[in-house]
Structure 1
Amino acid sequence: MWHRVLAELITASTLAIGRAIGKAFREEYTETAQAWKSIQHQSRREAAEDAETKSVSARTGITIAEAAQILNLKEPYTFESIENNFRYLFEVNSKEQGASKYIQAKVTNAKERLIEELQSKKDKTDS
């Protein structure tokens, strides 16, 4: 007789545990699916922004980080800080000072890249 009670107890507890595990898996699957959709949507948006940034970097031949390093700038960049650092570095590296045109070209490219980046950010906020 106690065998029958023990068997019913084991059966009932196994069913309850099985239902709980099934419910937990369904909830986890739903949450994961929703999170994945959110990540995909976000990834598409970021990928579009990254592609735009990469195409500008490829066209100018210099990344934003490299341009900031050349001009000795840290974020947030302003038009004034870019222009001031550019003027100083351009004059210090002038031919009269014994520097090369290569360094002046790098400084000029860095200035143009950062100004282009600031302008594109400004255009995005204006629209």
Structure 2
Amino acid sequence: MSLGENLRRLRIDRGMTQGELSNKSGVGLGQISKLERNKADPTLSTLYKLMTALDCSADRLLMDKEKSGLSAVLKEQFERVSGLPEGDQETLIRIMDKFCIANGLRAMLDEHRVLIGISGSSGVADVLD
């Protein structure tokens, strides 16, 4: 993700328009538009103004997914989820739990397929495959 994508996502997550972000940060509306489209490079003072207005860390604003790796992206997503209403958080927790259970069951099934294939019970292995 680029600075522009992060800026836009953070702004929208907070329910702000570009104009509202401009007013809150003191950064010109045209500059915010250019930054979100990756048509300008911000100064350090502009970054600080944006971080203050968006109440975010430099990491959240500047994170580059390709350089940071999936762990950093997951951390960022969990921080985003923490701002959602409690009911939505509970729904996402249930979804993640079900996904992890399904993934574990798939791994168990794959392991049993290997064991069945090794034991020579071709009839059962044929049914499972």
TM over 0.5: no
Higher helix share: 1
Structure 1 length normalisation: TM-score?
0.27
State which structure, 1 or 2, has the greater radius of gyration over its C-alpha atoms.
1
Structure 2 length normalisation: TM-score?
0.27
